[in-house]
Amino acid sequence: MTDIKFMDLSAPRRSTYAAGQIPSLQPRNAAEIPLAEYAVAMAIDVPQLVLYSRVSRDLEDWVERSRADVMQHEEDAATHQLGLIRKNTRLQAKSEWYDWKLQWIERLKHTAQTAFHDLQKDAKTLAKLKTETDEIVPELQREYDEISRLLEAEQQEVAEIEKCDQEYLNELKTSIAEQNVEVESLRAEVKEADDRLQWLQERVENIGQQKREHTVAIAEANRLLQVQTNSTCAEVFRLKNELQTLEDLHMFHISKVQSDLFEYIYASEYHVIIPCRDYLPLTERIQILRLAEIVQRLADFWSSTTQIRAQLRQLSIKYPVEIEPRRQFSEFAARTMVLFPRKKAKVYISFIFNSETFACWPLSIGSLRWEVEVGYGPIDKQAVLKAVDQRMGQVTSSSNYACLIDACIEAQETCG
């Protein structure tokens, strides 16, 4: 209505003066102020100030009333909130109590169910027991009746005995006691007789065993006596001459007879070898060799043996060598010891020769095997084996001189 507007104190203040033209805020001399400014101030500024003062007082009163209302509302809200808190606390405690009660009921329910199942099992067991009892009770009742009948009969007999002459009964009791003593004595004699009978039976068995042993010994002695009596040296030579005559007649000379092997020479030219099993010939494995081939094989075998011996002799010059038979003498191993001083280690290198390698050296050098065993010390077994493999891989049937000692030296230099 009055078209009064209040300043927005939060808005930035605008300046109506240029820089350097801001009037001085210091009070002026009253004599210098013109009356026109007084009139303007009295007509315009003073009414505005009065109205502003009145509005300010109204605003202060409203602020005070509003502050009181807010405080009252806060008190009411605090009182109501306290009530809500109490109610919420009670309801929460009741809810927790209900939860605990529910859990307790669940546990009781589980316990009750378990007990109910146990009771059902017990009921089934009791039913089975009742069925078995019903089946046994009639038999027991019959036994009870029979025992009762026997008891009554015995009681009647006892009553009749009590009515009899007691002196005569005492004499009978004394006679029975004496007879019992006599029976016990007879039992002891019978037991003694049984023990003696058992001892005699064992003695008879021992005598029978000795008789059989003596009979066998007598038979063997008789056989030896018969042989010594009838088999003279002349008879032996006669049988030997007959055997030689038969061999010459049939050009058949037996050289070996064993349970697993039978060998003979036919016509002084063929060597026949027949493998056997318990003296029964295995015809599919028969070998027939010419004696010239055998001589050639022996020559080759002798040459192989000489060369292998030279290899082992060269190896023993630097390293100790030990020969170990293996697989029931079908092969052997030349075991040598190699030391590694810088690593303080010892290794055993074994060169294994089977029958083929030994018989056809050096053509069979490819079948030579070797293995490495660590004696002690921090030495890599695979590295030593790799060094031996590398050197032996370069060996051929024409270039094999001192190959064993070279392999050991190569391993010692590579891994030491």
Q: pLDDT value at position 329?
A: 67
Q: Measured on CA atoms in the order 13, 17, 19, 21, is the torsion positive or negative?
A: negative
Question: Between the CA of residue 52 and those of 2, 49, 118, 248, what are the distances in Å?
Answer: 12, 5, 94, 168
| Percent of the chain whose predicted confidence (pLDDT) is above 70 | 89
Average pLDDT, the chain: 82
**337 and 395 assigned to the same domain:** yes
State the pLDDT confidence band at 229, using cuts at 50, 70 and 90. low
Would the pTM of this model clear 0.75, i.e. be above it? no
End-to-end CA separation in angstroms for the chain? 118
Same domain, 341 and 398: yes
Handedness of CA 398, 399, 402, 407 (dihedral sign): negative
Task: Give the pLDDT confidence score for residue 231 in this predicted structure.
Answer: 57
Mean pLDDT of 163-192: 82
Higher model confidence: residue 307 or residue 225? 307
Q: Do residues 68 and 134 both lie within one domain?
A: yes
- Do 191 and 255 reside in the same domain of the chain? no
Higher pLDDT, 105 or 32: 105
Q: For 54-94, how does the pLDDT look when each residue is reduced to its tens digit (9 = 90+)?
A: 888 889 989 998 888 888 888 888 787 777 888 888 888 88
46-55 residue pLDDT tens: 888 888 888 8
Are 277 and 312 within one domain? no
Q: Which stretch of DSSP H or E encloses residue 274?
A: strand 270-277
- The residues that bridge with 380 in the sheet, in sequence order, are none
**Backbone dihedral angles phi then psi of residue 315, each to the nearest 5 degrees:** -65, -35
Domain boundary among 114, 142, 163: 163
**End of a domain among 163, 192, 220?**
163
Establish if 5 belongs to a structural domain. no
What does the pLDDT read at residue 77?
Answer: 80
C-alpha closest to that of 256 among 237, 238, 279: 279
Q: How far is CA 80 from CA 76, 83, 85, 92, 167, in A?
A: 6, 5, 9, 18, 116
190 pLDDT more than 50: yes
CATH number at residue 356: 3.10.110
Amino acid letter, residue 64: E
Q: Which of 37-46, 226-235, 289-298, 342-351 has the lowest mean pLDDT?
A: 226-235
State mean pLDDT over 360-383: 89
- Are 326 and 394 found together in one domain? yes
pLDDT of res. 291: 66
Residue 105 belongs to a domain: yes
Q: In this predicted model, what pLDDT tens digit does every residue of 236-287 receive, in sequence order? A: 677 777 878 877 777 778 888 888 888 888 777 778 888 998 888 888 888 8
| Length reported for the chain | 416
Whether residue 345 is found in the same domain as residue 401? yes
Structural element, H or E, at residue 255: strand 252-257
Would you state the structure tokens that stand for residue 401, as one six-digit string? 């001189």
Do 68 and 140 lie in a common domain?
yes
**In the predicted model, what is the mean pLDDT of residues 340-359?**
89
Report the pLDDT value the prediction gives residue 9, as an integer from 0 to 100.
45
Q: Using CA of residue 256, residue 257, residue 261, residue 262, what is the dihedral sign?
A: positive
- 231 vs 396: CA distance, rounded Å: 62
Q: What range does the domain containing 126 cover? A: 44-163
DSSP 68-112: HHHHHHHHHHHHHHHHHHHHHHHHHHHHHHHHHHHHHHHHHHHHH
- Residue 259 lies inside a defined structural domain of this protein: yes
Residues 150, 99 share a domain: yes
Tell me if 9 is assigned to some domain.
no
- Residue 145 counted as domain residue: yes
pLDDT value, residue 75 = 84
Regarding whether 53 and 127 lie in a shared domain, the answer is yes
- Confirm whether 21 is domain-assigned: no
Residue 290, pLDDT score: 73
**Which of 36-40, 44-48, 137-141, 216-220 has the least mean pLDDT?**
36-40
Q: What is the pLDDT of residue 408?
A: 93
Report yes or no on 16 lying in a domain.
Answer: no
Domain co-membership, 227 together with 196: yes
- Count of H-run helices and E-run strands, the chain: 8, 9
Domain boundary among 119, 143, 163: 163
The single-letter code of the amino acid at 12 is: P
CA distance 97 to 45: 75
Amino acid 1: pLDDT: 43
Contact 348, 332 (CB under 8 A): no
Q: Is the confidence at residue 33, as pLDDT, over 90?
A: no
Paired strand residues for 333? 324, 352
Instruction: Reply yes or no on whether the pLDDT at 396 is more than 60.
Output: yes
Residue 12 lies in a domain: no
Residues 58 and 82 both lie in one domain: yes
What is the tally of structural domains in the chain?
Answer: 4
